[in-house]
Structure formats: C-alpha cells, structure tokens
C-alpha cells in the first residue's frame, strides 16, 4: 500500500512538472494539441495539458544577426569578386516562422545569396565599391518582401567586405598610386601657378605704388616751382610798386620844389630847351619842330647864352 502511494505521488509530480511551462522574456513557445497548432505561450507561467499538448518549438523574438557565407559573384564586366554580408532580422509572427518554412535561417541565407548574385551581376566592378549603400538598400527591400510570409522582418543588411581577385587588387593599387601621383603633380603645379600669380600681383602693386609715388613727387615739385614763381612775381610786383611809389614821391618833391620856387615863363622855357636837347642826343631820335616854334627856340637860345655868359663872368 505504501509503495502504491509513493508511485502515485511520483506520477502526480511528473504530470504536474510537465503541465507547468515557464517561458523566459523575449521567447515564446509554439504549443500543439493533438498534433495541431493550439497557441503561442507568452513569457511567464503557462499551463498545458500533459499527453494532449506538446511544445513544438521555442522561438526567439529578439532581433537576430546572421552571417551569410562569403559568396563568389561575377560582376557585369566579368570580374569574380567575393562578398561577405550580414543580415539583421526579427521574428514578428512565431507561428508562421515555424509552420511556413522548414528552417528560417537557411531560407534567409539562400535568399540573400541569390539576391546578392542578382544585384552584383548588374553592376560593374568600380560601382560595387562605391555603391555599398545602394546594395544594402536593395538587399533589405528584397529580403523583407520575401520573408514577410515567413513571419519575419528584415531590418537591415550590411555588406561587410568585397574582395576582388589578387591581380585586380594589384591593378587597383597601381591605379591608386598613379592617381595619387597625378594629384600630387596637379597640386604642385597649382601651387606653382598660385605662387607665380601672387608674385606677379605683388610686382604689379609695387609698380603701381612706385608710379603713384613718382606722380605725387612730380606734383609736389610742380607745386613748389609754381609757388616759387608766384612768390617771385609777387616780389617783383612789390618792387615795382615800391619803385613807383619812390618815383611818385620824387615827382611830388620836385613838383613841390618847383611850386615853392615860383618859376617864371623864361625859366620854364629854358628847362624845356634843356630837356629837348637831351632828347635829341640819341642817334635814333628824330625830332620834327614846326616852323612857328623856331622863333621861340631862337629867343630861348639867346636867353640861354645870356645866362651862360653871366655865369662865366661870375666865375671869373
């Protein structure tokens, strides 16, 4: 009786243990009842019926990464390259991921390999290196559309590495070295040209400054000469004015003396005769005397003789 009780307790314990399923976070269980899909067991404590319910699979609901084996792909220009990619995906419908495809990972890997061949086969070698973003976008779109019926979402696809053949790599390295050399020569030539332009501009500005300095010097020299001539003219004008003033004063003095001496007509006539004599002394001077003035001149000459005789007698 005791043995039967122990066996019954053990059976109950085993049945209880199989009835309780604890599901971890980010995981779900696909539960079948009598061979048909029954439910999806969410994270936490779940009760199932032993012998009727069966756990078909455990599905990871987190975002997963899967490395696609390196693929040998032929480009449009008949160059074989090796491409290594990685796919980031997440299961959105665990039932479809279990029942719609035998192996989700293998399906994604095969689909990615064929899609890569199709995309790279339409591109030339140079474009494959410069169009990684385009390749990634096309791969993600195609894989996401194809895996939607499998209850899976492809978030992104990244091309990790593109390896061309060894001879192509050597040719590319030589081309790169030649391109660097060409850029260095171009930069050197551009530097020399810029230096020559800068030097020419400096010489041009120096010549302009010299010409401006010379022009300014000539202007100042001309202004100095003009000011000197102006000052000289002013000095001459002042000298002429002073001479005229002195002569005016002299005339005023003579006129005053004559006026004070009260000369008679005879004295005036004698002074006029002396003046006429001095005027006629020049070799180029010709004087025309009217006939009516001869009598006056003769009388003046007589008077002059009288005065001369009188002076001589006084001196004796």
Predicted pLDDT of residue 255: 65
Assess whether the region 2-60 and the region 64-164 belong to the same CATH fold.
Answer: no
How far apart (Å, rounded) are the C-alpha atoms in residues 113 and 163? 16
Task: Render pLDDT for 210-245 as a digit per residue (tens, 0 to 9).
Answer: 888 888 888 888 888 888 888 888 888 888 888 778
What pLDDT band is residue 306 in, cutting at 50, 70 and 90?
very low
* Structure-model confidence comparison of residues 109 and 305, the more confident one: 109
The 3 state secondary structure assigned to the chain is: CHHHHHHHHHHHHHHHHHHEEEECCCEEEEEEECCEEEEEECCEEEECCCCCEEEEEEEECCCEEEEEEEEEEECCCCCEEEEEEEEEEEECCHHHHHHCCCCHHHHHHHHHHHHHHHHHCCCCHHHHHHCHHHHHHHHHHHHHHHHHHHCEEEEEEEEEEEECCHHHHHHHHHHHHHHHHHHHHHHHHHHHHHHHHHHHHHHHHHHHHHHHHHHHHHHHHHHHHHHHHHHHHHHHHHHHHHHHHHHHHHHHHHHHHHHHHCCCHHHHHHHHHHHHHHHHCCCCCCCCCCHHHHHHHHHHHHHHHHHHHHHHHHHC
Domain ranges of the chain: 2-60, 64-164, 263-316
Predicted pLDDT of residue 68: 87
Angle in degrees, 0-180, between the axes of helices 104-120 and 132-147, rounded to the nearest 10? 140
Task: Render pLDDT for 253-273 as a digit per residue (tens, 0 to 9).
Answer: 766 666 666 656 666 666 656
* Cβ contacts of 32 within 8 Å, gap of 6 or more: 38, 53, 54, 55, 56
Please state which CATH number belongs to domain 64-164. Answer: 3.30.479.30
Task: Render pLDDT for 17-35 as a digit per residue (tens, 0 to 9).
Answer: 778 888 888 899 999 888 8
Task: Render pLDDT for 44-54 as a digit per residue (tens, 0 to 9).
Answer: 888 888 888 88
Predicted pLDDT of residue 234: 87
Fold of 2-60: SH3 type barrels. (2.30.30)
Average pLDDT, the chain: 80
């Amino acid at each position: 009786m005791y043995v039967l009780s122990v066996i019954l307790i053990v059976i109950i314990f085993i049945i209880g243990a199989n009835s309780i399923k604890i599901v971890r976070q980010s995981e779900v269980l696909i539960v079948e009842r009598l061979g048909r899909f029954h439910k999806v067991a969410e994270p936490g404590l779940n009760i199932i019926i032993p012998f009727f319910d069966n756990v078909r699979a455990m599905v990871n609901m987190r975002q997963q990464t899967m490395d696609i084996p390196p693929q040998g792909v032929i480009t449009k220009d008949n160059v074989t390259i090796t491409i290594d990619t990685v796919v980031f995906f997440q299961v959105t419908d665990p039932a479809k991921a279990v029942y719609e495809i035998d192996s989700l990972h293998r399906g994604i890997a095969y689909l990615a390999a064929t899609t890569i061949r199709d995309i790279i086969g339409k591109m030339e070698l140079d474009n494959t290196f410069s169009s990684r973003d385009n390749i990634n976008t096309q791969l993600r779109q195609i894989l996401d559309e194809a895996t939607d019926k499998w209850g899976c979402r492809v978030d992104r696809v990244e091309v990790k590495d593109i390896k061309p053949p060894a001879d192509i790599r050597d040719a590319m390295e030589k081309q790169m070295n030649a391109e660097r050399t060409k850029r260095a020569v171009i930069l050197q030539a551009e530097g020399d040209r810029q230096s020559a332009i800068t030097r020419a501009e400096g010489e041009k500005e120096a010549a302009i400054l010299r010409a401006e300095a010379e022009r300014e010097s000539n202007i100042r020299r001309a202004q100095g000469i003009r000011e000197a001539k102006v000052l000289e003219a002013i000095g001459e004008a002042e000298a002429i004015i002073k001479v005229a003033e002195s002569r005016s004063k002299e005339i005023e003095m003579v006129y005053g003396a004559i006026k004070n001496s009260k000369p008679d007509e005879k004295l005036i006539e004698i002074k006029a005769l002396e003046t006429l004599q001095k005027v006629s002394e020049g070799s180029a001077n010709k004087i025309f005397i009217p006939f009516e003035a001869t009598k006056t001149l003769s009388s003046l000459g007589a008077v002059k003789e009288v005065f001369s005789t009188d002076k001589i007698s006084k001196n004796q």
